[in-house]
Each structure stands twice: as structure tokens, then as C-alpha cells.
Structure 1
Amino acid sequence: MNSKDYLFEAETVWEDLGNGIRRQIMGYDDQLMTVKVEFEAGAVGSLHAHPHSQTTYVASGTYRFEIGSEKKIVKGGDGLYIAPNVVHGVICLKRGILIDSFSPVREDFLK
């Protein structure tokens, strides 16, 4: 299972997740997936956990992340790592975009 080699923003569908959040899947194979997630100010990524390793690059905006029991404010240019099965969530304080990478692929995103 692989994505196309090139995924252009203008040709890639945004999936509306509701409540001011939408995402574009920007490439994947069985072991890796990159996803662009756009947040409106006030949007909440509810606390959750998954078995995937995750890194996030803050492309723009300001967010309050909670990873495990630690809460921090991050902004454009910052990054973070979330270990498998660790509870985490986010509140968008200033509209922006996150670039999430997952290993292995988030098959639930492809359904």
C-alpha cells in the first residue's frame, strides 16, 4: 500500500474532520505517513492514544499540547514527539497548520 509519488496540495482532497479541523494526507507507505492538519483558533484535538510513533512539526499557528501529564505551548517552527500509546491532545490558540508523521501508517485514516 503506497500513495502516489507526488501529491500536490491543489490536487489533494481535504478531509473535513469537523469543529474547525481538516486534514490532507500527503504521502504514505506501510511504514510511514505524513499528514497536514489545519486548525482554526479554538479547535480541539481531543485526548487520545494510538499505537503509532508520531512526530509533529508546527508549520504555523500556536497550540497548547498535552502529552502524557505535561502541557506546553508550541508555535510555528517547533516540533514534538509522541511515543506509542501515550495519551495526547491539542487546543489551537492561533489558527495554523501541523505536519504529523506516523509510523507505521495510520490505516484508519485511509478508510
Structure 2
Amino acid sequence: MKIHLEKMTPEEIIPGFLGKMIHGEKMTLVYWEVKKDAEVPEHSHENEQIMQVLEGEFEFTVDGSTAIYKSGELIVIPPHLPHSGKALTPCLLMDIFSPVREAYR
């Protein structure tokens, strides 16, 4: 199945986080457009997550440790680990979740 990202309508999952979600059989891929200063509150989930910053600067806290991630940088978040974040600039992010992120269906 061919997917055209530019034809997808983003969904605002959290204020300031507009996501285009693609679900496979065992994983979810999300492209996020994030507004400056938008925050994702601390949470955890059963999914393993890989987050990549495509554009901008994103402050990410994982299990109490905070770092700033810039374009081209990634982080792997194990399942059930508390994490949160804030867009320091407008950002484009990509998340991969395994298994499928059912909360985003």
C-alpha cells in the first residue's frame, strides 16, 4: 500500500502535537509537527519507542534524565519508562512504536 504523507490530515493528539499516524501489523510510525513550547506530560506505555528529531530542538526527559535533541538525533525508550518532552523550537519529529500504539488508532 502506497502512502502519501502530504495527503494525510494530521490529528492533534496533545495540544500542539499534530500527528500523521501509519499503523502496520506490529508497529506504528508517527510524523509529528510540533508547535514551539508544546509539551508532552510525563507518561509511560507498554510500547518500545524510537524518537528522531527531523527538524528543530526538542528537550526530552527519560527516567529523570534531561537532554536536548537536535536534527538527526535519536533516542530509544524502553517500554514502561517514564518520559516527557518540550519543543524548544517548532519541530518535526518521527516516532516508531512497537507493538502498535493502540491509543493512536
Q: 2:69 aligns with which of 60, 71, 74?
A: 74
Gaps of 5+ in 2: none
CA offsets 1:35-90 (integer angstroms, 9 cap, x no match): 01111110001110000000011101101100001100111110001000000011
Matched to 1:13, the amino acid is: T
How far off is 1:32 after superposition? 1.2
- In structure 2, C-alpha distance between the alignment counterparts of 1:43 and 1:81, rounded to whole Å: 21
Q: 1:61 aligns with which of 56, 60, 67?
A: 56
Gaps of 5+ in 1: none
Describe the SS at the equivalent of 1:94. coil
Q: After the TM superposition, which parts of structure 1 deviate over 6 Å for at least 4 consecutive aligned residues?
A: none
- Deviating more after overlay: 28-37 vs 82-91: 28-37
- TM (norm. structure 1) is 0.89
What is the percent sequence identity of the aligned residues? 25
How far off is 1:18 after superposition? 4.8
Matched to 2:30, the amino acid is: V
Q: Where do residues 24-103 of structure 1 align in structure 2 (5 Å cutoff)?
A: 24-25=20-21, 27-103=22-98
Matched to 1:73, the amino acid is: I
- Deviating more after overlay: 16-25 vs 35-44: 16-25
- TM (norm. structure 2) is 0.94
- In structure 1, C-alpha distance between the alignment counterparts of 2:74 and 2:4, rounded to whole Å: 23
- In structure 1, C-alpha distance between the alignment counterparts of 2:60 and 2:36, rounded to whole Å: 14
Note the aligned Cα RMSD (angstroms): 1.1
Q: Quote the residue 1:20 is aligned against.
A: 16
